[in-house]
A and B are shown apart, each in its own frame.
Chain A
Amino acid sequence: MNNTSVKISIQTQDFNLQDEVDLLEQDNAVDGAVVTFTGRVRNKNEGLTVSGLYLEHYSGMTEKSLAKIIAQAQQRWQIGRVSVIHRIGQLAIGDQIVFVGVTSMHRQDAFAAAEFIMDYLKVQAPFWKKELTEQGEKWLDAKQSDNKQAQQWNN
């Protein structure tokens, strides 16, 4: 990885947090900040007990969409390496779903860029979650609050 490498991975298999942090840090002496976010499957959503999750995506568009979001972040902030991993397929409670890692010289840019990437991933990247709940299978509805969160970056 060079100092502005981008990793985008859509995968069924789990990822190891330390391995991903190592990739961001290896041979990278210029960046003093590493910010990571990991999203996991919750056991409750909208009052219902969730026992699992199925994640569908639009292969090809997903990767393109994430690359565009990362490019926007690179234009807004001075950041180094970026890594985005999103899992697809069947997931269980507590499983890791998504990883966003950003390095930069100083913490402010890494924090902001990581949050921006996550906020835009939520509203632009073509993934869909189907929950397995006590009432059966249910496709999740998009949340208005996620749109508001992403729109805040335009202010």
Chain B
Amino acid sequence: MTIKVVFFATLREQLDCSEVQVPASEVNTIADIKIKLARKNEHWQQVFSHSALLSAINHDMVQSEHTVKTGDEVAFFPPVTGG
């Protein structure tokens, strides 16, 4: 009963982590996940206070208030720079 959370690019490097599991019972929204991850330690708190981070659920871009459920894949990443 978990939510898989993945990180990309500069965010992954800053956290030195590409993936964590979050218990689905402890979070309702994307914003909740951010708050929970920020509580891990001071460094994570600093990284997650960055307002420009984008988020996705199951490969679709979503806003912070979007709800999450068990089995979802949530992603956090900086603004994209392809092309």
A61-B59, A64-B59 as given contacts; A128 in contact with B82, CB under 8 Å: yes
B1-43, CB < 8 A from A: 6, 8-10, 13
**Interface contact A125-B80, CB-CB below 8 Å:** yes
- On chain B, the residues within 8 Å of A124 by CB distance are 61, 80
**Interface contact A128-B61, CB-CB below 8 Å:** no
* Count of residues in A whose CB is under 8 Å from the partner chain: 28
* Count of residues in B whose CB is under 8 Å from the partner chain: 18
Over the window 52-72 of chain B, the binary record of Cβ atoms lying under 8 Å from chain A Cβ atoms (1 yes, 0 no) is: 100010011100000000000
Q: Is A123 an interface residue (CB 8 A)?
A: yes
Q: Give the A-B contact count at a CB cut-off of 8 A.
A: 73
**Interface contact A125-B82, CB-CB below 8 Å:** yes
**Interface contact A57-B82, CB-CB below 8 Å:** yes
Q: List the B residue with the shortest CB-CB distance to A137.
A: B13
- On chain A, the residues within 8 Å of B80 by CB distance are 122-128, 142
Q: List the A residue with the shortest CB-CB distance to B82.
A: A127
- Partner of B9 from A64, A125, A128 at Cβ < 8 Å: A128
- Partner of A128 from B6, B59, B60, B81 at Cβ < 8 Å: B81
- On chain B, the residues within 8 Å of A57 by CB distance are 82
Q: List the A residue with the shortest CB-CB distance to B73.
A: A60
**Interface contact A122-B78, CB-CB below 8 Å:** no
A60-B59, A64-B60 as given contacts; A139 in contact with B78, CB under 8 Å: yes
For the complex, what is the distance from the CA of A24 to the CA of B68, rounded to whole Å? Answer: 40
A57-92, CB < 8 A from B: 57-58, 60-61, 64-65, 86
**Interface contact B82-A86, CB-CB below 8 Å:** yes
**Interface contact A126-B83, CB-CB below 8 Å:** no
Binding site for A on B (CB under 8 A): 6, 8-10, 13, 52, 56, 59-61, 75, 77-83
Query: Can you list 24 A-B pairs with a CB-CB distance of less than 8 A?
Result: A56-B8, A56-B9, A58-B6, A58-B8, A58-B59, A86-B83, A97-B83, A98-B82, A118-B83, A121-B83, A122-B82, A123-B80, A124-B80, A125-B80, A125-B83, A126-B8, A126-B56, A128-B9, A128-B80, A129-B81, A139-B9, A139-B78, A142-B79, A142-B81
